Amino acid sequence: MKRLPMLAMTVLVVAVAVVAAGCGTASSSGTSQTLAEAQKTITDLQAQVAQLQEQNAALQQQVQDLNKQVEQLSLQLKEGQVLMPNPKLGESWVEGTVLAIDTTRRIMTIDQHMDDNSVRIDPKVTVLNGAYVEKRTMGYGQNGAEIVDVQFFPDGSLDRIHTGDTIRFVYLRDKKAAKAIIIEAMEGS
């Protein structure tokens, strides 16, 4: 993208050089006409340079916007891959309240919320390195509870999980570990 303004400047320099070279052989009336043409050419080229610079700025903004979209889609893809438990691999959703968290050893102690479909797990759950962590802030709208904000923490840091948080996570039975965690918080808390 930076080549477009450089190309326009090169054309401008060449045009000035050609006009200047032609001035040495022309008559005085021809010289003033040639100088006027050169000035018009320079003005036209300067306008083209300005236009190319504007186009370059617009293209750079488009690239930034596209990079943001790629980042969002990459997170959504990872979310889709990580947040879909595979029962054939012993993965399942578990919900509970965090009773304690050891960020150094990456272990959470949870009070599991049980329903008819729940399978009881060990309350001490290891969180895998690089685990997907997401915080969903809930609020109340016209249709009841709804998600009002979502924050992604791709670094897998446990610093965002606190005692008393309600969480849902994808549990790996064979490793007794969580590979993805969703922290659910109410708006204003």
Q: What residue segments make up the domains of the chain, in order of their start? A: 3-81, 88-186
**pLDDT for residue 26 is more than 50:** no
Give the residue, 135 or 30, on which the prediction is more confident.
135
- What integer is the mean pLDDT of 162-183? 89
Mean of per-residue pLDDT scores for the chain: 81
Torsion angle, alpha carbons of 151, 137, 125, 121, to 10: -140
SS (H, E, C) 114-152: CCCCCCCCCCEEEEEEEEEEEEEEEEEECCEEEEEEEEE
- CA angle (31 as vertex; 30, 33 as ends), nearest 5: 65
For residue 167, what are the CA distances in angstroms to 33, 82, 86?
80, 16, 19
At residue 146, the pLDDT reads: 81
- What integer is the mean pLDDT of 147-160? 80
Q: In which band, very low, low, confident or very high, does the pLDDT at 51 lie, cut at 50, 70 and 90?
A: very high
- Residue-wise pLDDT tens digits, 77-91: 666 666 778 888 888
Please tell me the pTM assigned to this model. 0.55
